Amino acid sequence: MQEFPMRINKYLAHEGITTRRGADTLIEKGDVLVNGKPATLGQKIEKDDVVEIKGKKKEYRYLAYYKPRGVITHSPGKGEEDIEMRIKKLYNLSGLFPIGRLDKDSEGLIILTDDGRITAPLLEHGHEREYHVTVDKKITGAFMNKMESGVNIEGYTTKPTTVTRINPNTFSLILTEGKKHQIRRMCAALGYQVERLARVRIMDIKQNALKPGQFRILKNQELRAFLDMLGITP
Q: Which CATH number do you get for residue 13?
A: 3.10.290.10
Q: Residue 15: what pLDDT?
A: 77
What global pTM score does this model have?
A: 0.77
Taking phi over 0 as left and psi of -120 to 50 as alpha, with beta for the rest, 181 belongs to: left
Do both 89 and 189 map to the same domain?
Answer: no
Q: Of 63, 85, 94, which is closest to residue 215 (Cα–Cα)?
A: 63
pLDDT digits (tens, 9 = 90+) for 181-208: 999 999 999 999 999 999 999 999 999 9
pLDDT surpassing 90 at residue 137 = yes
When pLDDT is cut at 50, 70 and 90, the band that residue 2 belongs to is low
Q: Of 217, 189, 176, which is closest to residue 62 (Cα–Cα)?
A: 217
Do both 217 and 120 map to the same domain?
Answer: yes
3-class DSSP assignment, residue 148: helix
Do both 189 and 133 map to the same domain?
Answer: yes
Do both 145 and 184 map to the same domain?
Answer: yes
pLDDT surpassing 90 at residue 125 = no
Do both 31 and 95 map to the same domain?
Answer: no
Q: Over range 214-221, report the average pLDDT.
A: 96
Do both 224 and 114 map to the same domain?
Answer: yes
- Domain residues for the domain of 34 are 6-53
Q: Over range 209-214, report the average pLDDT.
A: 96
pLDDT digits (tens, 9 = 90+) for 86-118: 999 999 998 899 999 999 999 999 999 988 888
Do both 178 and 214 map to the same domain?
Answer: no
Q: What is the mean pLDDT of the chain?
A: 92
Residue 71: inside a domain, yes or no?
Answer: yes
Do both 104 and 139 map to the same domain?
Answer: no
The Cα 64–Cα 119 span in angstroms is 15
The residues annotated as belonging to the active site are: 103
Q: What Å distances lie between residue 63 and 27, 77, 128, 174, 182, CA to CA? A: 30, 25, 18, 22, 25
Q: Over range 167-185, report the average pLDDT.
A: 95
pLDDT digits (tens, 9 = 90+) for 10-35: 988 887 788 888 889 899 999 999 99
> Which residues fall within 8 angstroms of residue 139, CB to CB, at 6 or more apart?
165, 168, 169, 170, 171
